């Protein structure tokens, strides 16, 4: 199973911001008016997980990760070749 398939199974959808540079997996949060996001930065080879307001995107808080999300993140990192 690919990272994208695992993220999809967890309710995330992939949004490509800039091909081969930045993409995000996003799903509705348990908190009304927020979305959970997991960003992947291909230039810095970093990821970030947070919750943002759907209305203005400014109200940001960090997000706890589940073991399934961590598994998908680790697989995504391997698929991107960042672990080399």
Which sequence spans correspond to the domains of the chain?
1-57
Q: Is the pTM of this model over 0.85?
A: yes
Residue range 16-29: mean pLDDT, rounded: 91
Q: What is the mean pLDDT of residues 5-16?
A: 97
What are 34-73's pLDDT values in tens digits?
999 999 999 999 999 999 988 876 768 889 999 999 999 9
What does the mean pLDDT of the chain come to? Answer: 92
DSSP SS3 for 27: strand
Largest CA distance in the chain: 39
DSSP bridge partners of 16: 23
| pLDDT reported for residue 57 | 67
Q: Which whole number is the average pLDDT over 19-24?
A: 89
């Amino acid at each position: 199973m690919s990272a994208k398939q695992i993220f999809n199974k967890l309710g995330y959808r992939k949004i490509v911001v800039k091909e081969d540079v930045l993409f995000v997996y996003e799903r509705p949060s348990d908190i009304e008016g927020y979305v959970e996001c997991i960003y992947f930065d291909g230039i810095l080879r970093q990821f970030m997980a947070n919750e943002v307001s759907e209305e203005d995107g400014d109200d940001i808080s960090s997000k706890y990760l589940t073991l399934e999300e961590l598994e998908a993140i680790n697989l995504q990192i391997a698929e991107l070749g960042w672990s080399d």
